[in-house]
A and B are shown apart, each in its own frame.
Chain A
Amino acid sequence: MSDRKKAVGVETIGMTMRFGAFTALDDVSIKVPAGSFHALLGENGAGKSTLVKCMMGFYHPTAGDILVDRREVAITSPKDASALGLGMVYQHFTLVPSLTGAENLVIAREKVPGIIDWRKERAALAQFMQRMPFKLPLDVKVAELAAGEKQKLEIIKQLYLGRSFLVLDEPTSVLTPGEAQEVLGLVRGMTKAGDLTVLMISHKFHEVTAFADDITVLRKGRLTGTGKVSELSHKRMAAMMIGDQPIAALDSRAPVPVGARQILTVKALKAPDRTGLKTIHIGALDVKSGEIVGVAGISGNGQKEFLEVLAGQRARDAGDVLVKGSPYGASRAEARTLNVRFIPEEPLRNACAPRMTVAENMAFRTFDLNEAGKPINWIKMSAIRDYAARLVEHFKVKTASLASPISSLSGGNVQRAVLARELTGEVDLLIVSNPCFGLDFSAVAEIRARIMKARNAGAAVLLMSEDLDELLELSDRIFVMSDGALVYETPIAQASVQTIGEHMAGHH
């Protein structure tokens, strides 16, 4: 742990992984030389995580070999991998939330004494942290750290364990642009010094260009390209990733008419956050007809709670939420008369009943109304099916049948089904949260196009997203939420990633 080993190089030869009849990885050979920074690119579902999990001994590949420093090795468990100096920072945090940083580091070690002498361990940790380029509080519970700090701790943990080859699976998806620079800069420096080899999974081209030496691209389990970053354009990389599938184009943005009607008004809203220790406080927010207002922020800064208040899932302590001038409490009747529609994040969990059929899920808004919009007592399954069939066709939802459970659909198609339900009929206010999280290129493009269409048709859209690129592409105005409050507002014409990032990090 103290004297770090030098960087090692890793190669895979003919890596193949089948899950039953499905081939997730097909004869993939990649080469990551010692001391290099390698980027692994590919769409969601391309097999990137599968490949690195095979390298880490989490999966046992159907076929293929791994070479470490040009010697063939057998890696059958994560323990084997760590004995060879191979480590990984997972897409989802693997720190234990109720333990402190120090406890997390010590317990992750190969050999932990039966009784832990904390005085000695603290001293050793302090010494170790002195060689790290950033400071971290090690005595608070991990649950109380911000996402960026957690990610740094994950990386520090790997370094503490003496890794000489590090896999980072989409390491910056939870970081502000500034934090991402800092963290990647740190590992980049270590590769340059020859202390570390890095294999980073990413789909952010600007990061790849700024930090990586070489790339490997996967598509549908196959290797579709490799090369030096310095010789490849973003366009070329994108082509390797997505092939030649059609991508929906965004409608051009109709100008917001002057004097457009104010649809959503939030005034002096106060609500407890999920720990109950802090409150979120929204001073004033308004969204006009025909505009998209984006809310940026790192997850855990109160966006979720704000959304829950708007959706009626969380009680508020004070303040008003008005839609078209009338108070809005998120009841079914109010949503119906005021034409409010809602697309929460992780739609399968938050907007669907996973085991009910596609048709039933799509009818949630309308199943108890007749054609004239009057409440009915007897539900007609045939009407529900016909309605769903029309929507499925119109929104191009791919499903085996209308009677399949909605949980059997892929993520993109669940989101299309939810969009179909929410965007059909008159929409005056649309509240959306992270609509494209974890979807592939074509689904992302189509869903953004649908949101833009709704805006151009006169809907007021409140869009919360952790993806800054998405906000910059769609919004007319952007707010930044930090520590439970809206701390910054900018029209899109003056928006700069730099300034927004600083406000996200709370540096103002």
Chain B
Amino acid sequence: MDSTEIGLWGVPLAMLGGAIRVSTPFIFVSLGEAITERSGRINLGLEGTLVFGAMTAYAVAVMTGSPWLGLLAAAAAGLCFGLFHGWICKFRGVNDIAIGIALMLFGSGLAFFFGKPFIQPSAPDLPAIPFGGWSDVPQVQAALNVNVLFLIGAALAVFLWWAFRNTRAGLILRVVGDSSDAARAMGLNPNTVRLLATGLGGALAGIGGAYLSLYYPGSWTEGISSGQGLMAVALVIFARWNPLGCFAAALLFGGAGALGPALQSVGVTQGYYLFYAAPYILTLIIMIATSSPSRSLAGAPGELSITK
């Protein structure tokens, strides 16, 4: 492929395509984490869930030949991890952050253990929809080849944004996340709500993992995740727990992550590897820019242990 044909336009184009491709796992993990954190709990274990979901999806897809069954299996595995986290955290004196870190290591370790036999065989991919058919430029076609999971993620973000304010379940979730006392006075059991919210968050993270192993990069290796699960947690915070914000932030991260490869593809040969660090630098910059020593985080759920 000759990228000089469209010259420097290749960079934004490759970033757009990259944003769409790289952002999908961020979208699912951060939406899942947004649900969990809105209930007043933080689950740092989603990184482990993501890796385990990637392994499960790949293994099931190899064995059954269906990427969709793989996806379902990953969601189920994620659900189990989430429920486990939610169940342990209901006991007194248990810290959700510590449990999350333990589960993060546990999930990755378990995935490496069960995943060994699946490093070689290849699994069928999740389908993508070519939106770029109208153009003859191969770069445009490549950038607009959009995976269905990205579209589902976008729809889910809009749905959650709507549901947080227009459904009973959404309001109950926010009540529990903001004030356990008020929830109890209403006859709600905060632990049950948080258990379900953490389970749902885990299932979405599992789906994010399935995308990694079944579409992009599209194979199972032990280094499949480069910390997306952890960065998604940071992303939820500066998206201010708003699902639409999560979606936008995920795109931004995806775009930043695609900067390095894009520069490389247009022939920048020196220093481009610095731009591989762009997402991490972006995390730091945004975190610093949006926080303040004299003001508490606006919009933070009141029961969240990190903002209390």
Residues of A within 8 A of B (CB): 77-79, 90, 92, 94-99, 103, 106-108, 112-116, 118, 272, 274-276, 314-315
Contacts and interface: CB of A to CB of B under 8 A. Distances in A.
B302 A97 contact: yes
A78 B181 CA distance: 13
Contacts of B186: 107-108
B165 interface: yes
Interface stretch (B67-75, B149-157, B170-178, B207-215): B170-178
Given A96-B178, A98-B301, A78 B185 contact: yes
Contacts of A276: 292, 294-295
A95 to B, nearest CB: 7
B164 to A, nearest CB: 10
A284 B302 CA distance: 36
Nearest to B188: A107
10 contacts: A77-B187, A95-B182, A96-B182, A97-B302, A98-B299, A99-B174, A108-B186, A114-B168, A274-B295, A314-B294
B185 A99 contact: no
A92 B174 CA distance: 19
B191 interface: no
A112 B168 contact: yes
B168 A107 contact: yes
Interface of B: 165-169, 171-172, 174-175, 178-179, 181-182, 185-187, 292-296, 298-299, 301-302
Name, among A78, A98, A118, the residue most crowded by chain B CB atoms within 10 Å (CB to CB): A98
A97 B175 CA distance: 9
Contacts of B174: 96, 98-99
B187 A107 contact: no
Contacts of A92: 181
Nearest to A100: B165
Given A78-B187, A107-B172, A314-B294, A94 B179 contact: yes
A79 B187 contact: yes
Contact of A97 (B172, B179, B295): B179
A99 B295 contact: no
A275 B295 contact: yes
Contacts of B187: 77-79
Contact of A115 (B166, B178, B179, B295): B166
Contact of A96 (B167, B175, B292): B175
Given A77-B187, A96-B175, A112-B168, 7 more contacts: A90-B185, A94-B185, A97-B179, A114-B169, A115-B168, A116-B166, A276-B292
B303 to A, nearest CB: 11
Contact of B168 (A79, A97, A116): A116
A113 B166 CA distance: 10
A311 to B, nearest CB: 14
A14 B3 CA distance: 89
Interface of A is mostly: loop
B165 A103 contact: yes
Given A77-B187, A94-B179, A94-B182, A99 B294 contact: no
Nearest to B167: A115
A272 B294 CA distance: 7
A77, A96, A116: residue with the most chain B Cβ atoms closer than 10 Å: A96
A97 B180 CA distance: 12
Contacts of A275: 295-296, 298
A113 B168 contact: yes
B219 to A, nearest CB: 42
Contacts of A78: 185, 187
Contacts of B293: 315
A466 to B, nearest CB: 21
B234 to A, nearest CB: 21
A269 to B, nearest CB: 15
A75 to B, nearest CB: 13
B178 A99 contact: yes
Contacts of B298: 275
Given A90-B185, A107-B172, A115-B166, A98 B178 contact: yes
Given A96-B179, A116-B166, A103 B185 contact: no
- 10 tightest A-B CB contacts, nearest first: A276-B295, A107-B171, A94-B185, A112-B168, A94-B182, A98-B178, A96-B178, A96-B182, A96-B175, A272-B294
A314 B169 CA distance: 39
Nearest to A90: B185
A98 B302 contact: yes
Nearest to A277: B295
A96 B178 CA distance: 6
Nearest to B181: A94
A118 B182 contact: no
Given A98-B299, A276-B295, A116 B171 contact: yes
A115 B295 CA distance: 35
A243 B307 CA distance: 45
Contacts of A94: 179, 181-182, 185
A113 B172 CA distance: 12
A454 to B, nearest CB: 32
B28 to A, nearest CB: 24
A422 B204 CA distance: 55
A275 B295 CA distance: 5
A107 B168 CA distance: 7
A156 to B, nearest CB: 16
Contacts of B175: 96, 99, 107
Contact of B171 (A79, A95, A106): A106
A77 B189 CA distance: 13
B178 to A, nearest CB: 5
A94 B302 CA distance: 13
Contacts of B292: 276
B171 A315 contact: no
Contacts of A95: 182
Nearest to B185: A94
B80 to A, nearest CB: 26
A82 B269 CA distance: 72
A223 to B, nearest CB: 27
B111 to A, nearest CB: 36
A232 B181 CA distance: 38
Nearest to A79: B187
Contact of B296 (A79, A112, A274): A274
Nearest to B165: A103
Contacts of A107: 168, 171-172, 175, 186
B292 to A, nearest CB: 6
Nearest to B301: A98
A274 B185 CA distance: 28
A248 to B, nearest CB: 36
A315 B294 CA distance: 8
